[in-house]
Amino acid sequence: MYVVGMTSKTRLSVTVDEDLIEAGQAAVAAGEAESVSAWVNDALRQKADHERKLRGLDEFIKEYEAEYGEITDEEMEAAYRAAKARAIVIRGGEVLRDGSDTEVA
């Protein structure tokens, strides 16, 4: 382990798909990442944060269902339809639907 700035780092050896290495190298070449190590570190941090959020959502749903009962397939379908009706659809920079279920000219 070693320290970079205020953060301790641990060296890690992993096997990674070639296309991911190329993506990391491209990000470095484009100035989007300081190094491939920094790019991978950021990806791992995003994955860890995503997993933490999923665990929190899972806990919230468990608590909700414990209080109000299991969420049914019909309720999920209704929520999906309601969200879809509110969606703003944009393609090629043009708003095609504004969420009011009407096409935008």
Give the start-to-end residue ranges of the domains of the chain: 2-71, 72-105
pLDDT-based confidence at residue 60 (cuts at 50, 70, 90): very high
Contact status, residue 87 vs residue 99, Cβ threshold 8 Å: yes
pLDDT of residue 1: 59
pLDDT of residue 43: 97
CA 44/CA 5 separation, integer angstroms: 19
For the cut 60, the answer to whether the pLDDT of residue 105 exceeds it is no
At position 34, the amino acid (one-letter code) is E
Average pLDDT, the chain: 89
Residue 32 to residue 27: CA distance in whole angstroms? 5
Name which of 37, 47, 49 is nearest 2 in CA terms: 37
Q: 18-32 pLDDT, tens per residue?
A: 999 999 999 999 999
pTM over 0.75: no
